[in-house]
Structure 1
Amino acid sequence: MTYHPRSEFMSVMMERGYLSDCTDYQGLDEALGNGPVTAYIGYDATAKSLHVGHLLNVMMLRWLQKCGHKPITLMGGGTTKVGDPSFRADERPLLTNAQIDENIAAMKRVFARYLAYGDGPTDALMLDNAEWLDGLNYLAFLRDIGRHFSVNRMLSFESVKSRLDRDQSLSFLEFNYMILQAYDFLELNRRHGCTLQMGGSDQWGNIVNGIDLTRRVIDTQVYGLTSPLLTTSDGRKMGKSAGGAMWLDPEMLSPYEFWQFWRNTTDADTGRFLKLYTELPVDECERLGALQGSEINEAKIILANAVTTLLHGSDAAEAAEATAREVFEKGGVGDDLPTVTVTGTELADGISIVQLIVRSGLAKSGKEAKRLIAENGARLDDTPLTDPGLIIDAGSQGGTIKLSAGRKRHALVKLGD
């Protein structure tokens, strides 16, 4: 449908490409125009860090706050114990309470880069659904909440239907997930006046359930808004690369590698990513995205600098750009490259170049590293690497070598203690 929003937040969502669907465009737009709206997105604590695939929705919360509304980051301390089955082929591995708590603590550091938390009317809140889910009485929950859910309707949602159509098992534990997520929305409305849930378009069924439950139990109007599930122009899932997930925590992925991920954006994606992942004016994003030939590379550097500055700060972005220019334009080593250290003890026994390629993150396995060498994609100190049996030993101790996979991925190996 074509809808022309009046509120600033809905205008931003539509103009910059964040909006996939909304349960009530006009109703939400009017609510946003009548004062601060409290909105949430839920994040299950399945890993120690968010990754680039989460960044679109984090930016939505950031824009919500910039437009004068109140964001809630809801940590799934309770729902992580169940696991979201949406569009998964198998059941998620179950984590211990200690693992969940550790993951939540690590994720909080990333959110603090994008949102201002506090007690003010538009300050962000960080909540944990274990607060209300851990103490539920099962029979009372079935009687008071479960009776509002139709199994027939739950089976019709695409996230469940796709699993069953492939004859893949869906446990009763997982089947409860959508009820618990719906209950989250009800509780957030009761406790914090939250009237909007946002999420990726794969969460549409869960969001609609929460809206329906809130209406049935406390007769309150709430809304849902979803973002598109992004793939890159070459068909890859956003946030994935040859080296694995693009983590947002600097302890899991260096600022340089994060910067380089954005610098390697395809020409066709540059303008779109500038709109979604930076705060540059839309006209400027479109101008940069329309550049041709070698000029588009400068647009990609602007993208990489802007996204890296938001997450890691301007100093990290400037250091990453300086390293990239040194490595790619001047043939230098670059002090900010990902670095691994090989101890003197290891060198005494000798360590294979294949192991070093894997340890530096340039390949996931020895098999992949050997294939990289066989296909002439690996280099040692900018010289093509042809011998997969090469051993680095004590004779090399005290130096630093540079390993490369292709033209754009590099790492340093420091030899000796």
Structure 2
Amino acid sequence: MDLIADLQARGLVHDTTDLAALKARLAEGPLGLYIGFDPTADSLHVGHLVGQLFMRRFQMAGHRPFPLAGGATGMIGDPGGRSEERNLLDVETLHHNVERIKVQLSKLLDFEPGPYQATLVNNADWTASVTMLEFLRDVGKHFTVNQMTAKDSVRSRIESEHGISYTEFSYMLLQANDFRHLYETHGVELQAGASDQWGNIVAGTELIRRRLGKQAFAVTHPLMLKSDGSKFGKSAGGAVWLDPERTSPYQFRQFWMQSDDQMVGTYLRMLSLKPLDELEGLLAEHAAEPEQRAAQRALADEMTALLHGRVAADHAARAAEVLFGGDPTTASADVLAVVAAEVPSVDLPGDVEGIRVHELLLSSGIAKSASEVNRLLTQKAVRAGNRVLDEDGLLRASDLLNGGFLLLRKGKRDFLVAKVS
């Protein structure tokens, strides 16, 4: 199966310019492509994965990806998908964000020297020195206002209460000029992006045709959506970030584990780098026994290992086992450290032998009163590791797990970890 056919089978092709010409060009040899992102935060989120892995598929097929950081366009903001103008970021913040995102991109694309190496470019490098008159002469004259206002996102903003500033209105032209610049300087012939970027991307192919007399290509992929049809992003709250300091590998893995049955097949086809026939076999297995969550487990494992590494993925999976009823006594110190980061935790100096559990449960908020602690102990509802505590609530030295961790559990889901020094 060729690259385009594979993308289509995965549901990753939404719109294209000249598909037959693009297929012919891909058959000729390596091609440069780019997808842009505006560094309005210091981390990408899961909604960006489709685009970055779209480039990864091209790289695996022998083409060169150019992820583009919008150091210039990020100062303005794309009006698409917004009802109001975004807050403008200063240069220092944008630079910081780009540097942080570089690390995340290195997990998704191969930047090692070679014929297909990825190259991170920043549109601030070629936009900052362009004067207003040069921009109007070299870019603006190739577009009509009619053409620009025909874009749905622009028209809806014009008709809204808040309107649209000239700053945001010009975003399409800046993105078009990025494509023209990359075509001339790096031989980038294809721009890809999410389906809501179609108007901006096609503006770039038009600018290349009018100024250079050359053919360039555009492909969009569908947005990654939740089961209710809403987008994943950072604006709606509850964002799942790619930076482990914002979303831990454990939380990242659990996000995929919680995928709806109706969406997990879509996510696997769009994101997994495994062959399609392997995925279809997995999804057939999942359909036969959905309660086993085989598809969610495979998706969570692959995405977490890809972004955070095999070791972190394994630790996150084992930590989930502990937190969902697995045996904590066989967990390594590293796994228990992951558990400690996800539940209330305290430091406990000295020996635990003979310590009563009451104060630990009260100070952590797991129990609200001394009478509740007594009731829980009477009901045999408190465990230290695998041991059900007696009514006296006394801890033993043998309750300590690997790494000096003490794991207390009330019922099935309330945990407290004490790190004993």
Matched to 2:257, the amino acid is: R
Matched to 1:106, the amino acid is: R
* 8 A contact 2:59–2:65 mirrored in 1: yes
Match of 2:209 in 1: 215
Match of 2:310 in 1: 314
Matched to 1:111, the amino acid is: L
* C-alpha displacement of 1:238: 3.3
> Structure 1 residues 156 and 342, CA, compared in 2 at 3 Å: closer, same or farther?
farther
TM-score when normalising by structure 1: 0.80
Q: What is the CA–CA distance in structure 2 between the aligned matches of 1:136 and 1:118, rounded to whole Å?
A: 31
Show CA shifts across 1:181-233 (max 9, x none). Answer: 00000000010010000000110000011111111111110010001112223
Say if 2:35 is the partner of 1:44.
no
* 8 A contact 1:90–1:168 mirrored in 2: yes
> Structure 1 residues 255 and 130, CA, compared in 2 at 3 Å: closer, same or farther?
same
* C-alpha displacement of 1:90: 1.1
Of 161, 172, 195, which aligns to 2:189? Answer: 195
Show CA shifts across 1:385-404 (max 9, x none). Answer: xxxxxxxxxxxxx9776799
Match of 1:298 in 2: 294
Q: What is the CA–CA distance in structure 2 between the aligned matches of 1:105 and 1:250, rounded to whole Å?
A: 15
> Structure 1 residues 401 and 168, CA, compared in 2 at 3 Å: closer, same or farther?
farther
Say if 2:122 is the partner of 1:122.
no
* 8 A contact 1:75–1:126 mirrored in 2: yes
* C-alpha displacement of 1:12: 2.0
> Structure 1 residues 296 and 236, CA, compared in 2 at 3 Å: closer, same or farther?
farther
Of 274, 277, 280, which aligns to 2:274? Answer: 280
CA RMSD of aligned residues (A): 3.0
Show CA shifts across 1:239-275 (max 9, x none). Answer: 6899711000111111011011111111112222221
Q: What is the CA–CA distance in structure 1 between the aligned matches of 2:301 and 2:166, rounded to whole Å?
A: 46
* C-alpha displacement of 1:298: 2.3
Q: What is the CA–CA distance in structure 1 between the aligned matches of 2:236 and 2:206, rounded to whole Å?
A: 41
Show CA shifts across 1:302-328 (max 9, x none). Answer: 111111111111111111111111221
* 8 A contact 1:200–1:229 mirrored in 2: yes
> Structure 1 residues 140 and 240, CA, compared in 2 at 3 Å: closer, same or farther?
closer
Matched to 1:46, the amino acid is: T
* 8 A contact 2:75–2:88 mirrored in 1: yes
Of 257, 260, 271, which aligns to 1:263? Answer: 257
Of 72, 93, 109, which aligns to 1:78? Answer: 72
Of 168, 175, 199, which aligns to 2:162? Answer: 168
Instruction: State which drifts further: 114-123 or 81-90.
Output: 114-123
Q: Give the SS at the match of 2:218.
A: strand
Match of 2:52 in 1: 58
Matched to 1:181, the amino acid is: Q
Q: What is the CA–CA distance in structure 1 between the aligned matches of 2:235 and 2:172, rounded to whole Å?
A: 30
* 8 A contact 2:261–2:290 mirrored in 1: no
Q: How does 1:373-412 map to 2 (within 5 A)?
A: none
> Structure 1 residues 109 and 226, CA, compared in 2 at 3 Å: closer, same or farther?
same
Q: What is the CA–CA distance in structure 2 between the aligned matches of 1:241 and 1:99, rounded to whole Å?
A: 18
Q: What is the CA–CA distance in structure 2 between the aligned matches of 1:287 and 1:267, rounded to whole Å?
A: 16
Show CA shifts across 1:145-167 (max 9, x none). Answer: 11111011100101211222333
> Structure 1 residues 21 and 35, CA, compared in 2 at 3 Å: closer, same or farther?
same
Q: What is the CA–CA distance in structure 1 between the aligned matches of 2:406 and 2:291, rounded to whole Å?
A: 37
Matched to 2:72, the amino acid is: G
* 8 A contact 2:37–2:69 mirrored in 1: yes
Matched to 2:294, the amino acid is: E
The structure with more radius of gyration: 2
Q: What is the CA–CA distance in structure 2 between the aligned matches of 1:381 and 1:255, rounded to whole Å?
A: 28
* C-alpha displacement of 1:168: 3.0
TM-score when normalising by structure 2: 0.79
> Structure 1 residues 296 and 75, CA, compared in 2 at 3 Å: closer, same or farther?
same
Q: What is the CA–CA distance in structure 2 between the aligned matches of 1:263 and 1:76, rounded to whole Å?
A: 32
Match of 1:89 in 2: 83
Q: What is the CA–CA distance in structure 1 between the aligned matches of 2:296 and 2:116, rounded to whole Å?
A: 33
> Structure 1 residues 156 and 294, CA, compared in 2 at 3 Å: closer, same or farther?
closer
Matched to 1:200, the amino acid is: A
* 8 A contact 1:271–1:288 mirrored in 2: no
* 8 A contact 2:364–2:416 mirrored in 1: no
> Structure 1 residues 82 and 413, CA, compared in 2 at 3 Å: closer, same or farther?
farther
Say if 2:101 is the partner of 1:104.
no
Instruction: State which drifts further: 39-48 or 286-295.
Output: 286-295
Q: What is the CA–CA distance in structure 1 between the aligned matches of 2:165 and 2:235, rounded to whole Å?
A: 31
Instruction: State which drifts further: 282-291 or 99-108.
Output: 282-291
Matched to 2:77, the amino acid is: G
Identity %: 40
Q: What is the CA–CA distance in structure 1 between the aligned matches of 2:299 and 2:131, rounded to whole Å?
A: 49
* C-alpha displacement of 1:296: 4.3
Say if 2:225 is the partner of 1:225.
no
Q: Give the SS at the match of 1:90.
A: coil
Match of 2:389 in 1: none
Q: What is the CA–CA distance in structure 2 between the aligned matches of 1:294 and 1:24, rounded to whole Å?
A: 40
Matched to 1:152, the amino acid is: N
Say if 2:51 is the partner of 1:67.
no
